[in-house]
Structure 1
Amino acid sequence: MALIRRRVHVTVDLQNERRYLPVPFEVPAGTDSLEVVIRFDPAEAGIDLGCEGAAGWRGWSGGARTEYLIHADAATPGYLPGAPEAGEWNVVLGLHRVPAQGVDVEVEITMPASRPVPPVPDAPPASRTVRGSDRGLPAEPGLTWFAGDFHGHTIHSDGRLPIGGLAALGVASGLDFMAVTDHNTVSHHAHLAAEGSRHGITLLPGQEVTTHLGHANAFGDIGWIDFRGPAQDWVDEVERRGGVLSINHPISGDCSWVHRLERRPAAVELWHSTWYRELISTAPFAWFRTWPEGATLLGGSDVHLPEEPQRPGTPTTWVAAEDASAEAILEGVRAGRTAVTGSARLEGSVLVPELMRAPALVRLGDEVLAVDAEGLVLVDGAGRRRSVRSGHEAFAADRADGPFHLVLADRRILALCA
């Protein structure tokens, strides 16, 4: 057994120079597994953890873990299994929070690993509930409005739920699909089809490309996107591979989007769960109105923990698609056929439980249709207001005047579309 120990003194100057610090080590030929542990004082610093193999990226756990195991047939969630190839590897340290006096980080590598990978917890399938697609929102011929959530995390990054647990919550929330968007890894992709089939929900492959300057979701089975490169590279590479990139929660505290872009992606997560704290804020609309080409609107709960107030589908993104397959859902997003509501619950809104049905606002050609929104007010991006006087009412709506949203008398926003 080979044991390698490295001590790295991380300073603010080093953090200023490079946010992702490689700590190299050599893997001999014939190595069947390895184990990495880092130690530092978490009260003083925040150090993220990742792994780059000789043949490419092996995974990321950010600040959720301080160790990982890689075996031929299994790996710590967030990391790709496979016998370690010979050559130079790197333990990647993300220098997230560094004190003025600096901090010592001890890196310990063991080859072969001293223990097996613990089993991943299972989650029983949820009973099928009424899904969003059962609601029958008016759609163009050949299309159905499917209800989903474009932002969720599992134990493959900093979530506490196994993939099956997230899927079961999505089913219980009335969703037809969910995107699994773990941070800076695609280790979860290999498990999505089987878990989705077992629970009866479409699980879209995703990756939250996560940096201190902002986050973006890359959707599609397109492989790993390198978060360490310029954000423009994310946009171009995701498009080249046939995926969809969305800027996440562009106005959200210290996770707001501040990357510079010459060419922007097609989508934006305009309604994020953090917006629930101030649903009369028009800050997301102000940001959106600076987007010269317009964008496809998405919503995401960003669910991590089962005890969080946000659940899958808060908010819900509706996509008009031919079917609920991952390919059809992403094609609907590319075509801009989306709408966002507070939830998918048919018996009422999570924002206003006493409403009989969650209000919705969907586009049909040159009109937007307010559904179950009698008594609400339709507002466009310029602030013009029109009263909704019936359960199904259509309004002429030029896309250039968006985003359109439904509000209560107290100005709380219940639904939106472009």
Structure 2
Amino acid sequence: MCENDNCRRPDPEADLDPAFDPADDPGPDRRALLRTGLLAGAATALTLAPISFAAADTPAPVSGTDSRTITGHLDTGAADFVYLPVEVPDGVRQLAVSYSYDKPAVPAGVPGNSCDVGVFDQRGTELGGEGFRGWSGGFRTSFAISNGEATPGYLPGPVEAGTWHVVLGPYQVAPQGLDYQVQVTLTYGEPGAAFTPNYPPDRAKGRGRAWYRGDCHLHTVYSDGHRLPTEVAAGARAAGLDFMVSTDHNTSASHGIWGPLAGPDLLIITGEEVTTRNGHWLALGLPPGRWIDWRYRARDNAYPRFAREVHRVGGLVVPAHPYCPYIACQWKFGYQGADAVEVWNGPWTYDDESAVDSWDSQLAEAVRTGRPWLPAMGNSDAHSVPQVIGSPHNVVLADDLSRDQILAGLRAGRSWLAESAAVQLDFTATGHGRQAGIGERLTVPLDAPVDVKVTVAGVPNGTVRLVTDEGQLHQESLPASGAGTVLWRTTASLAGYVRAEVRHPLADGTPGQGNTMGAALPWGPMAALTNPILLSADGS
């Protein structure tokens, strides 16, 4: 998602090695990364002729390097994935790959060339298989893998003999086609010491049953971010967060470095942003080291398989930024099998407004039909400065500050979305001697009075909206102090649910016109958004 209209293309010539210093470059805008640095999946594939380094009857050298280069051309409409087999002999210490492609001029409005890269090892390229060894999308022009280390985004480990596959992902091809060049270099010698991952613990100190703040969509240099993991963890602490989820695109490579960065004050949960050609989704709470495949489109009917895989390990499936306007970002898989939906992604924009409207319609239908409802989430999707970690984030009611309890709170919708830790909110509904909070159900006689109470702080001159399955039924303005309490009475016969929004004033300082017609914008940017309190009549 994009903060402004000045989105920049990522620089594909910036070859980010393990010593990359993000301070040297402020980095591309996040929506530009979504638009032009996609980590594309494949519904169709093309396998090229193999590259061989040694004849079957020729011993591999014991030291030195050997390189091979292949060039080729892809026409518009090329397969989503192009596999380049590499026959790796025994005795290889390191495999290194560099690639490039041409960028011919195209008319305005016509996609130019953009091509991703990754690699699978001798265990094969089977969908969901064990051969995955790394992916960097279009963010790097080279990578290297050895037993003890690897370029960020790639998995260290032995370079074993067999057929490896360098993978090109030409997700945009110009009318002139795409000319590419790939160079593979093998370095021979002893493998050296193995990399030892240091995974984060699944529990932090916590405060028992309490509200915990966390950002569930964050990127580092291990995919297309410009922040080091140390900087992301420091940013999470600076934002007042209790937990964060690591969600680098299409790779688990960063999981093994988070251990020293977690602590009693910060729970770090491992995950992945699964970046397909038909939308992105968050796999939250993956076991450390677990990778989820992305090489499919909606028409392939493979998404349900991988959603089930995430569920089997106790994780959450969350469609991300479903209305992001850039290529391959809009969500096309439907919401069956999802555990929540990311309706607020980074600074508030029109596509977040669309996502909330769509979510609210789904919520009303679920309440009407008695089907399970889908909780809302909000995350920063921060990649680099000046994108703010923790803006927005989720405030989750959980029994403990642990992976399982945080995921349980999110799954149940016991959460609200906050622009920052400066925003405070409490939301309850009381009737017939009973009380319910966010994500809970209040059952009362059909016409019994239900008193809804919202207490807010940290939103100067904001507007509190109360929205039901009938639409907005109440709004009040907050004072300049940003703190206030709103009371409203309804019944279960009038509202199947009630949820709260807190909006900032419009740019001109006015509170927004709400449900009116005309040129005036309806609302200012979101400051807080709750999941619903459900209202049911006795016997229903």
Measured against the shorter chain, the TM-score band is: 0.7 to 0.9
Q: Is the 8 A contact 1:366 1:397 kept in 2?
A: no
What is the one-letter code of the residue matched to 1:273? G
What is the match of residue 530 of structure 2? 417
Single out whichever of 90-99 and 398-407 deviates more from structure 2: 398-407
SS class of match (1:235): helix
What is the aligned counterpart of 2:349 among 270, 274, 277? 277
Per-residue CA distance 1:347-374 (angstroms, 9 max, x = gap): xxxxxxxxxx545657354467522269
* CA distance 1:237–1:407, shift in 2 (3 Å): same
What's 2:184 paired with?
109
Q: 2:226 aligns with which of 157, 160, 172?
A: 160
Aligned letter for 2:391? T
Pick aligned residue for 1:391 from 485, 501, 504: 485
Contact 2:217 / 2:380 at 8 angstroms: preserved in 1? yes
Query: Could you report, residue by residue, the CA deviation over 1:189-241 in whole angstroms, capped at 9, with x for unpaired residues?
Result: 1112221239x422211100002310000012331111013322222221122
Larger mean CA deviation between 49-58 and 147-156 belongs to 49-58
Q: Equivalents in 1 of 2:391, 2:118: separation in Å?
A: 30
Partner of 1:349: none
Give the Cα–Cα distance (whole angstroms) in 1 for the partners of residues 116 and 491 of structure 2. 46
TM-score normalised over the length of structure 2: 0.64
Question: Quick one: which amino acid aligns to residue 193 of structure 1?
Answer: G
Aligned to 2:454: 370
Q: 2:184 and 2:351 mapped to 1: Cα distance?
A: 48
Query: Alpha-carbon deviations, 1:322-381, whole Å to 9, x = none?
Result: 222223211222222211122122xxxxxxxxxxx5456573544675222696332235
Shift in Å at residue 307 of structure 1?
2.4
Matched, 1:228 2:300: no
2:91 partner SS: coil
* CA distance, structure 2, for counterparts of residue 280 and residue 219 of structure 1: 21
Q: Does 1:8 align with 2:72?
A: yes
Question: Which structure: larger Rg?
Answer: 2
Trace 1:300-315 onto structure 2 (pairs within 5 A): 300-308=379-387, 311-315=388-392
Q: Which residue of 1 aligns with 2:168?
A: 93
Which aligned pairs between 1:13-412 and structure 2 lie closer than 5 A? 13-14=77-78, 18-42=79-103, 44-55=112-123, 56-112=131-187, 143-197=209-263, 200-222=265-287, 223-229=290-296, 230-254=302-326, 256-261=329-334, 263-274=336-347, 276-278=348-350, 281-290=353-362, 292=366, 293-308=372-387, 311-345=388-422, 357-359=423-425, 361=427, 363-364=437-438, 365-366=440-441, 369-372=453-456, 376-387=464-475, 390-391=484-485, 401=497, 404-407=500-503, 409-410=511-512, 411-412=523-524
Counterpart contact for 1:381–1:404, Cα < 8 Å: no
| Structure 1 runs not aligned, ≥5 long | 117-132, 135-141, 346-356
SS at match of 2:311: helix
Q: Distance in 1 between matches of 2:167 and 2:426?
A: 45
| 1:128-175 deviations in Å (ceiling 9; x for gaps) | xxxxx99xxxxxxx6211011111100000000111101111111111
C-alpha distance in 2 between matches for 1:193 and 1:392: 43
Matching residue of 2:537: none
Change (3 A) 1:288 1:280: closer
In 2, distance between residues paired with 1:201 and 1:335? 22
- The 1-side partners of 2:356 and 2:346 are apart by 12
Report the TM-score, using the length of structure 1 for normalisation: 0.81
**For residues 242 and 164 of structure 2, what CA distance do their matches in structure 1 show?**
41
Question: How many Å apart are 1:182 and its aligned residue?
Answer: 0.3
1-side partners of 2:362 and 2:456: how far apart?
A: 31
Paired residues of 1:269 and 1:300 also in contact (CA < 8 A): yes
Contact 2:398 2:405 in 1 (8 A): yes
Distance 1:211 1:279 in 2: 19
The AA in structure 2 aligned to 1:228 is: R
Q: Does the residue aligned with 1:290 lie in a helix, a strand or coil?
A: helix
Report the CA distance between 1:7 and its aligned residue: 1.2
| Cα drift, residue 414 of structure 1 | 2.4
Paired residue secondary structure (2:151) = coil
Aligned partners of 2:318 and 2:342 also within 8 Å:
yes
- Secondary structure, in 3 states, of the residue corresponding to 1:167? helix
Equivalent pair of 1:342/1:415 in contact (CA under 8 Å):
yes
Question: Is the contact made by 2:474 and 2:488 (CA closer than 8 Å) also made in structure 1?
Answer: no
The code of the aligned residue for 1:88 comes to: T
2:268 is paired with a residue whose SS is strand
Alpha-carbon distance in 2 for matches of 1:82, 1:96: 29
Alpha-carbon distance between aligned partners in 1 of 2:456 and 2:102, rounded to the nearest angstrom: 54
Distance 2:211 2:489 in 1: 19
* Counterpart residue identity of residue 36, structure 1: V
CA contact (8 A) 1:152 1:304 kept: yes
Alpha-carbon distance between aligned partners in 1 of 2:94 and 2:528, rounded to the nearest angstrom: 50
Tell me the secondary structure at the aligned position of residue 32 of structure 1: strand
**1:236 aligns to what SS in structure 2?**
helix
**How far apart are the structure 2 equivalents of 1:266 and 1:322?**
19
Change in 2 beyond 3 A, CA 1:395/1:47:
farther
Q: How many residues align?
A: 376
Q: Tell me how far apart the structure 1 counterparts of residues 324 and 249 of structure 2 sit (CA, whole Å).
A: 17
Worse-matched range after superposition: 225-234 or 399-408: 399-408
Contact preservation (8 Å) 1:51, 1:58: yes
Residue aligning to 1:128: none
Structure 1 pair 165–243 and aligned structure 2 pair: CA distance change class (3 A) = same
